[in-house]
A = this chain, B = another copy of it.
Amino acid sequence: MEESIKQIKTFKLLNNRILQEGVCLDGGVLKVDVFINHQIDPYLMKQVSIEFIKRFADLKINKILTVEASGIAPAVMLGYLMELPVVFAKKRKPSTMSDMYQTVVHSFTKNEDSALVVSKDYLTEKDHVLFVDDFLAFGNAGCGIVDLCRQAGATVEGMGFIIEKEFQHGREALKRAGVTRIESLAIVESLEGNRIKFKGI
């Protein structure tokens, strides 16, 4: 009982922040530059991380994986609280990186393809990965991560997102890619008419 009340509280905290400070733009874009994507509220990142820890409490994880740049803040806070290393996949090959896994993902927001690379040094068959990111939209970054982990022989134990835009169907794409545990802390059912409608509310 206590547990479920806390969970609802955390939802409310995040939902309220999104309602109060999120901005809807045309094309299904939800802009949360106030606390995630440009300015970051570190306290909210801690609340988000605690919620992820609860939801994935039954999993054995040894590494947090994310994608630069907006995923780094929640990933670092989660890694700090769980005492785990964090690895962020890069969107282009650094000149100093030689031995890596790579894949290509399409960003609908930016309308372009980009690489997703991770060094072979930091993703191996020993890794049981929890992937976290700011948004689940079409699921392209997540599917890219599945591909990188497959190349490395690493196991994707779960994926956690701060905000899911359900109407862009990323969850289905991730399920098709074999991800069995997906948790999103705020699920936006629709942005029609530039109004934020949360699932189940």
Contacts and interface: CB of A to CB of B under 8 A. Distances in A.
Interface stretch (A3-11, A36-44, A172-180): A36-44
A83 B46 CA distance: 11
Interface in A23-41: 25, 29, 31, 33-34, 38-41
Interface in A58-92: 68-69, 72-73, 75-77, 79-80, 83-88, 90
A79 B44 CA distance: 11
Given A33-B121, A45-B76, A69-B68, A40 B86 contact: yes
B122 A33 contact: yes
A145 to B, nearest CB: 15
A15 interface: no
Count chain B CB atoms within 10 A of each CB in A40, A83, A90, A110 and give the residue with the most.
A40
Contacts of A95: 109-110
B76 A42 contact: yes
- Interface magnitude class on chain A: 35 or more
Nearest to A74: B76
A46 B68 CA distance: 20
Interface of A is mostly: mixed
Contacts of A43: 80, 83
B33 A80 contact: no
Contact of A80 (B38, B42, B72, B122): B42
Given A76-B77, A77-B80, A110-B95, A85 B122 contact: no
Nearest to A42: B80
A141 to B, nearest CB: 14
Interface of A: 25, 29, 31, 33-34, 38-43, 45-46, 68-69, 72-73, 75-77, 79-80, 83-88, 90, 95-97, 109-110, 118-119, 121-122
